[in-house]
Amino acid sequence: MYRSIIDPIDFLINPPSGCILGVNYSGMHDSAIAIVTPKGDPVFAVSLERLSRFKQDGRPLHELLNAIPWDRIDKVAVSAPEFLQERHDNKSKLHPTLLPQPRLAATLAHGQGFLDALNMIPCEKVFVGHEEAHASSAFWGSGFEESLCLTYDGGMCNDLWFGGLYRCSKTDGIRPLDKFDALQYVKVTTLYSFVTALLGFMPLRHEGKITGLAAYGKPTDRCNNLLKKWFEQDSVELEMSLHWINCYDHYSPPQLLPNPAKLLPFRAQIEGIDREELAATLQDFSERHILQILSNARSAGWESSNICLAGGLFANVKINQRVAESGFNRLFVAPPMTDEGTALGAAWFAASGAKQFNPQPLRSMFLGPSYPAEKALTAVEKEGIKFNVPAVPAETIAELLAQGAVVAIFQGAAEFGPRALGNRSILAQATKTSINQNLNARLNRTEFMPFAPMTREEDAEICYYGIDRVRHSLEFMTVTVYCTEIMRQMCPAVVHVDGTARPQLVSAAVHPLIHQVLTHYKNLTGKLAIVNTSFNVHEEPIVCSPEDALRGFFESGLDYLYMEGVGLISFAENMQVTIQYLQEKIKRQNHKSKSGSSMDEFLGATLFEQTERLELVSKALVERTQELVETRDAPNPFRTNRTAGAGQ
């Protein structure tokens, strides 16, 4: 069983009466809950991964559900049908590619574990179609009066659909225009995950790396012809090369794993093709697939000046940019566009029939757990960590950034969704491209896309082109835009090779501390943006609790951690604490190396590479620990005199 994840002292789930609880549970990935009021205001949302510390955790939600005050919940909305209902007349007007042979309906049915995991819910359950939940997660947060909404992902068991086009309006709700039948049509999401695995990355987790790689290559006809063949003729073989383990398991997290033997014939087909070329062609292929669907919609007479996007495919920020540029006046992408977002979408869908339902446009995704200052302070004092209390935190943080320091931020409620938006973020200068390699090395990441910039909303037009149609989405870092020459010169570390960036626009109302940091940083340096990357160590979810933040900070060797309710923690002033954290990490790494893992067992073709990498990481940790022992008394080059007190 995974560790106990709910401590009533940590945070309280304290909604008003009459709320709707949304639940996403597939037995596979992204288990999550969300709570909205009868009016439609989101008041709490969290993915299981943030608490269990296992990325994309798809295990049952028992402990989270035990923490719900059920007397305040009117009903529960589940983002999947209760049972599979097969139909045989589901021809799409929009999707261009049929499967070479139809799938069997039985392959889409949930196992008994799905219902078993939901049996502990003590109130009325409403089952919402998975794609309808995705569409709701985008439209009801967009602020649009009316819109089209396109959804596209890998689908959901008990549901025939993996995407579709919806007509959405505040008066008539969300109504399907055309839906993509998983029994009859090919999924470009499967192709993307397959290529992710083929190139040696983890499917369903590392597709973003392929998007980043694509910027360094060019689409080619030979790759396009190969992808077209795989998509149109070999789709069944592609799907069979990936398989789930531990579905519905209470103890071992479910994982989607590639079968090395079934990948071998396809690896032979890409001999002589470098990964950048394949990634670039895949990106182009996927973009054209979506644009064809939208073109078909226009031909069918289904048009709107507004478009919403939701579903795992639209975690791809480059596809989102192409959609925005394809003829729409405004675009909004669901900030939690992946399956965790269907918990929020299902709750909204179930609440939307009430007279008082009138959700406001989303301005914040700070819906997760927040922790009392006493808990953070206790965690710091327990470890004997030294800290300073800045008189004006925003000014001190800006001064440190201007000097070249890297500062982690832990404040307020955790973000819901895949993006860190300032409450669980790592900040740095964007003036030197070397920061990418520097931070990736510290965080043990292998990223190919530059980090994202944070920019004040009042400076947006100076930094980016064409933002009017996507301004709302830019608050949540879900789409790329082209950078101005000023931005390219001032902040090259956050500009992609194609001249785009994936910015977050920051307002004083929603992000007071970060906005103040940016304002003071601009006054000090004249620069209009800083780096924002998620505060997490390699292959872990974004930090959630104070304990997560402290471990991530010391293991990563960042320069400073600003922790709300505590103050500013300096890495250089806490050498002995760092040594203790790194020694604990070495023990964990050695334990994993000896015991093996489920991933090792199924990835025999790359087992040697994984073991070698683990040995290198352990060696680096040992060397880092020895270095810290030898230099623990070295002066701190970033020491600040702006302190109002110190921890004991």
Return the pLDDT at 339. 98
Place 574 in a pLDDT band, splitting at 50, 70 and 90. Answer: very high
Q: φ and ψ at 165, to 5 degrees?
A: -110, 135
Q: What is the share, in percent, of the chain residues with pLDDT greater than 90? A: 79
Please determine, for residue 640, whether its predicted confidence score (pLDDT) is greater than 50. no
The C-alpha atoms of residue 64 and residue 116 are separated, in whole angstroms, by 16
The C-alpha atoms of residue 473 and residue 486 are separated, in whole angstroms, by 22
Please determine, for residue 639, whether its predicted confidence score (pLDDT) is greater than 60. no
CB 113 within 8 A of CB 27: yes
CATH architecture for the domain at 373-574:
Alpha-Beta Complex (3.90)
The C-alpha atoms of residue 321 and residue 474 are separated, in whole angstroms, by 11
Lowest-confidence region among 144-153, 505-514, 607-616: 607-616
**What is the C-alpha end-to-end distance of the chain, expressed in Å?**
37
Which residues, including other chains, have CB under 8 Å from residue 47's CB and lie 6 or more apart?
A: 30, 31, 32, 57, 340, 416, 541
CB 318 within 8 A of CB 312: no
Lowest-confidence region among 242-251, 256-265, 528-537, 575-584: 575-584
| Mean pLDDT on 92-110 | 93
Return the pLDDT at 602. 38
**DSSP code string of 391-459:** SSHHHHHHHHHHTT--EEEE-SSPPSSS---SSEEEEE-SS-THHHHHHHHHHT----SPPEEEEEGGG
Instruction: For residue 88, count other CB atoms closer than 10 A to its CB.
Output: 9
User: What tokens appear for 104 in the block?
Assistant: 């069997």
Return the pLDDT at 598. 42
Place 9 in a pLDDT band, splitting at 50, 70 and 90. Answer: very low
Return the pLDDT at 642. 36
Please determine, for residue 489, whether its predicted confidence score (pLDDT) is greater than 50. yes
- Burial letters 457-489, b for 16+ CB under 10 A, else e: bebbeebbeebebbbbbbbbbbbbbbbbeebee
Amino acid at position 362, single letter = L
Place 584 in a pLDDT band, splitting at 50, 70 and 90. Answer: confident
CB 370 within 8 A of CB 414: yes
Q: For the chain, how long is the longest CA-to-CA vector?
A: 74
Please determine, for residue 3, whether its predicted confidence score (pLDDT) is greater than 90. no
The C-alpha atoms of residue 459 and residue 455 are separated, in whole angstroms, by 7
Return the pLDDT at 63. 87
User: What tokens appear for 117 in the block?
Assistant: 């995991």
Please determine, for residue 597, whether its predicted confidence score (pLDDT) is greater than 80. no
Q: Rounded to two decimals, what is the model's pTM?
A: 0.91
Place 615 in a pLDDT band, splitting at 50, 70 and 90. Answer: very low
- Burial letters 222-257, b for 16+ CB under 10 A, else e: ebeebbeebbeebbeebbebbebbbbbeeeebbbbb
pLDDT tens-place string over residues 172-203: 999 999 999 999 999 999 999 999 999 999 99
- Provide the residue count of the chain: 648
pLDDT tens-place string over residues 528-552: 999 999 999 878 999 999 999 999 9
According to DSSP, residue 604 is labeled G
Return the pLDDT at 647. 36
Return the pLDDT at 239. 93
Strand partners, 148: 167, 307
Return the pLDDT at 195. 97
Q: Is 24 helix (H, G, I), strand (E, B) or coil?
A: strand
User: For residue 638, what are the CA distances in angstroms to 173, 216, 399, 571?
Assistant: 54, 36, 9, 10
The helix (run of H) or strand (run of E) holding residue 327 is none
Please determine, for residue 43, whether its predicted confidence score (pLDDT) is greater than 90. yes
> What are the structural domain ranges in the chain?
373-574, 577-631
Please determine, for residue 603, whether its predicted confidence score (pLDDT) is greater than 70. no
Residue 366 region by backbone torsions, left for phi larger than 0, else alpha for psi between -120 and 50, else beta: beta
Return the pLDDT at 630. 54
| Mean pLDDT on 87-107 | 90
Distance of CA 524 to the CA centre of its chain: 32
Which residues, including other chains, have CB under 8 Å from residue 351's CB and lie 6 or more apart?
A: 20, 36, 37, 38, 40, 77, 357
Instruction: For residue 71, count other CB atoms closer than 10 A to its CB.
Output: 7
Return the pLDDT at 593. 57
Going by C-alpha positions, the residue among 433, 408, 402 that lies closest to residue 423 is: 408
Which residues, including other chains, have CB under 8 Å from residue 7's CB and lie 6 or more apart?
A: none
pLDDT tens-place string over residues 310-349: 999 999 999 999 999 999 999 999 999 999 999 999 999 9
Return the pLDDT at 524. 98
According to DSSP, residue 340 is labeled T
User: Mean pLDDT over all residues of the chain?
Assistant: 90
Return the pLDDT at 438. 84
Q: What is the share, in percent, of the chain residues with pLDDT greater than 70? A: 89
The C-alpha atoms of residue 543 and residue 318 are separated, in whole angstroms, by 26
Place 623 in a pLDDT band, splitting at 50, 70 and 90. Answer: low
| Mean pLDDT on 365-374 | 95
Please determine, for residue 627, whether its predicted confidence score (pLDDT) is greater than 80. no
What percent helix, strand, coil does the chain show, rounded to 5? 40, 15, 40
Please determine, for residue 606, whether its predicted confidence score (pLDDT) is greater than 70. no
Q: Which residue has the higher pLDDT, 63 or 632?
A: 63
Place 645 in a pLDDT band, splitting at 50, 70 and 90. Answer: very low
